[in-house]
Amino acid sequence: MDIEEIKEYLPHRYPFLLVDRITEIDQDNKIIKGYKNVTANEPFFEGHFPGHSIMPGVLILESMAQVAGVLAYQLQNKKASEGFLYYFAGADKVRFKQPVFPGDRLEHEAEFIEERHHLLKFKCRTIVNEKVACVADIMCVERQVTLD
Q: Which residues are catalytic?
A: 48
DSSP 101: -
Strands 84-96 and 21-26: unpaired
77 three-class SS: coil
- Burial (CB < 10 A; 0-12, 13-18, 19+), residue 135, is middle
Alpha-helix residue ranges (DSSP H) falling in 2-127: 3-9, 57-76
Q: How many CB atoms lie within 10 A of CB 123?
A: 17
